[in-house]
Amino acid sequence: MMSSDPDLESLIKARDRSVDALLSLQKEDGHWCGELEGDSILQSEYILMKWILEQEHAPLRDGRDGWEILQRVARRLRAQQRPDG
């Protein structure tokens, strides 16, 4: 439904272009590929989740030592920490 309001019409056209752009990137089975980016929240929440689930010492599926991986993630977080915390 189009309105006579030019601003609304521009918004609707922009929305439709955005939807088309996203759909053009969607894979045949429905997923999208993209780089997962974020600040330190992803790493810190991973450590917290492993601790809450009492899995901090559990080996990873590929056989790597889970505790060593968590230690490496924690070191990286501390290296990124700013003076103000």
Q: What is the mean pLDDT of residues 65-81?
A: 93
Domain extents in the chain: 1-32, 41-80
Q: Which two tokens stand for residue 6?
A: 């030019």
Amino acid at 23: L
pTM more than 0.85: no
| Helix axis angle, 41-52 to 66-80, nearest 10° | 140
Q: What is the pLDDT of residue 27?
A: 93
Tell me the per-residue pLDDT of 25-43, one tens digit each, with 9 for 90 and over: 999 999 988 876 677 888 9
Q: What is the DSSP letter of 39?
A: S
Euclidean distance between CA atoms 22 and 36, whole angstroms: 16
Euclidean distance between CA atoms 73 and 45, whole angstroms: 11
pLDDT higher than 60, residue 1: no
- What's the burial of 47, exposed, middle or buried (CB within 10 Å: 0-12/13-18/19+)? middle
